[in-house]
Amino acid sequence: MHNEHFYTLSASCPDQVGIIARVSGFIAEHNGWILESSYHSDNNENRYFMRMEIRASSLPCGADEFRRKFAPLATALDMDWSITDSAVKKRVVVMVSKQEHCLYDLLARWQAKELDIEIPCVISNHETFRGFVEWHGIPFHHVPMTPDNKAAAYAEVTRLFTEARGDCMVLARYMQIIPPELCAAYPDKIINIHHSFLPSFVGAKPYHQAYQRGVKLIGATCHFVTPELDQGPIIEQDVIRIDHSDSVEDMVRYGKDIEKAVLARGLRYFLEDRVLLHGNKTVVFR
């Protein structure tokens, strides 16, 4: 990752001869300087994926005009595509319950500018972290969640996210099930950290499930949220080895370290437009 101002072109399309030549040729015609490029051909799906970073100062136009000029070629290639501007920070709304480790880690990375983002607010179903969040100068919204008020509570979450002009919603151990309506409203914009190496041990208390099963590896999964619980496209995963001497409490402690790292990596890949979706799978250009 470099510090230059650049535009990122992310795209996928049906595979065919000449995609790179046509896209790189278009960029060259506009004097564009390609700083980084990644490609992947999925033979099973006959789908082609690409990501390019183009030096902004090398182009004769801004991002909006560049998008307008590129659109006819994208249409001709039947592309799903986007062009983003590195100068525009993405706005990340963080949601949390009573587990602090992922929230603390994200705010530390944000404060150190390791994650170059805006955090317009933190939303929680508990008051637990209000003081900590507001100490960072970030607005904190308490939206209580009970079995009887979930529709109204999620309507308030939607209002706050819209008001914050959020680009993505990060569930930093937000221990509530996101309703289908919210998933539909923000497809591929809600990112979760699950304390298990999915698809194993979905739902609640996966470390307890892993302990009962006697596994030798435990892990964490960063994934997009879909209406199917813990079944969304996977962005990043990691594991750690354990043995018979480790208790459930040990596994929870080890797991917190993995969860923080996996969430940070997965979020970074998303923020840098390195995650391309196709169905329930992802291509991640690291």
Q: What is the DSSP letter of 118?
A: B
- Helices 206-213 and 248-271 cross at an angle (nearest 10°) of 130
Is 273 tagged catalytic?
no
User: What six digits make up the tokens of 9?
Assistant: 């072109």
Q: What is the DSSP letter of 214?
A: T
Contact 256, 221 (CB under 8 A): no
Give the pairing type, strands 217-224 and 140-142.
Answer: unpaired
CA atoms of 123 and 174, how far apart (whole Å): 9
Q: Is the dihedral of CA 159, 161, 167, 168 positive or negative?
A: negative
CA 215 to chain centroid:
28
CA atoms of 129 and 110, how far apart (whole Å): 17
**Per-residue burial over 249-260, b = 16 or more CB atoms within 10 Å of its CB, e = otherwise:** eebbebbbebbb
DSSP line for 121-157: -EEESSSTTHHHHHHTT--EEE----TTTHHHHHHHH
Beta strands in the chain (DSSP E): 6-14, 34-42, 47-55, 80-85, 92-96, 122-124, 140-142, 168-171, 190-194, 217-224, 234-241, 275-278, 281-284
Q: Could you say which of 105, 167, 230, 273 is catalytic?
A: 230
User: What six digits make up the tokens of 67?
Assistant: 């998008």
The residues annotated with a catalytic role in the active site are: 230
